[in-house]
């Protein structure tokens, strides 16, 4: 598929997804270092693993954009939101993951409406993974209560 054939909304979803995924990498990496200073090595390891997963998502989006003939360009990274305790960090993370879920759900629905099966499947994969991340965070928050 060439850029001439690429749906502009699909390209927009990819660009926003790339920006959010790279922002998530920055967020989770920063939080991992922060909780490490709190002496929470196991939590730091979990957050570092999340950062790696989000980087893998960014790499997949970059590959998809290149396949569509578009140069990847993350428009802006989100500022990192920190907190004074683990619960606050995880609450921020859950809100962030829900934003990714919403974006990928919209992208999946758009691709289904326009009959773009390849990109629908691509976004469905990201959607399922982000839904799993959000559910993990939700469970983690419940365990802290």
For residues 108 and 123, is the Cβ–Cβ distance under 8 A?
yes
- CB atoms under 10 Å from CB of 121, counted, come to 11
For residue 46, the domain's CATH number is: 1.20.1260.10
Domain count within the chain: 1
pLDDT, position 16: 96
Convert the pLDDT of each residue in 111-122 to its tens digit: 999 999 999 999
| Residue 116, both tokens | 């773009």
> How many H-runs (helices) and E-runs (strands) does the chain carry?
4, 0
- What share of the chain in percent tops pLDDT 70? 97
Task: Tell me the pLDDT tens digit for each residue of 121-136.
Answer: 999 999 999 999 999 9
Sequence-distant (≥ 6) Cβ neighbours of residue 11 within 8 angstroms? 65, 68, 70
Region for 79 from its dihedrals, namely left if φ exceeds 0, alpha if ψ lies in -120 to 50, beta otherwise: beta
Tens-place pLDDT, residues 34-77: 999 999 999 999 999 999 999 999 999 999 999 999 999 877 89
CA–CA gap between residue 73 and residue 24 (Å, rounded): 16
CB 107 within 8 A of CB 123: yes
Q: Domain span at residue 53?
A: 3-144
**Torsions phi, psi for 76 (to 5 deg):** -165, 135
Residue 2 has pLDDT above 50, yes or no: no
């Amino acid at each position: 598929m060439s850029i001439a054939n690429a749906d502009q909304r699909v390209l927009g979803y990819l660009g926003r997804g790339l920006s959010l995924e790279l922002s998530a990498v920055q967020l989770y990496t920063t939080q991992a270092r922060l909780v490490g200073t709190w002496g929470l090595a196991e939590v730091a390891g979990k957050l570092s693993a999340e950062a790696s997963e989000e980087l893998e998502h960014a790499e997949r989006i970059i590959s998809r954009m290149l396949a569509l003939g578009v140069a990847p360009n993350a428009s802006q990274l989100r500022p990192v939101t920190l907190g004074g305790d683990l619960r606050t960090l995880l609450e921020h993370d859950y809100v962030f993951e829900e934003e990714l879920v919403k974006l990928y759900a919209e992208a999946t629905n758009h691709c289904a409406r326009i009959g773009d099966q390849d990109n629908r499947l691509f976004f469905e994969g990201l959607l399922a993974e982000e839904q799993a991340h959000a559910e993990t965070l939700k469970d983690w928050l419940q365990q802290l209560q």
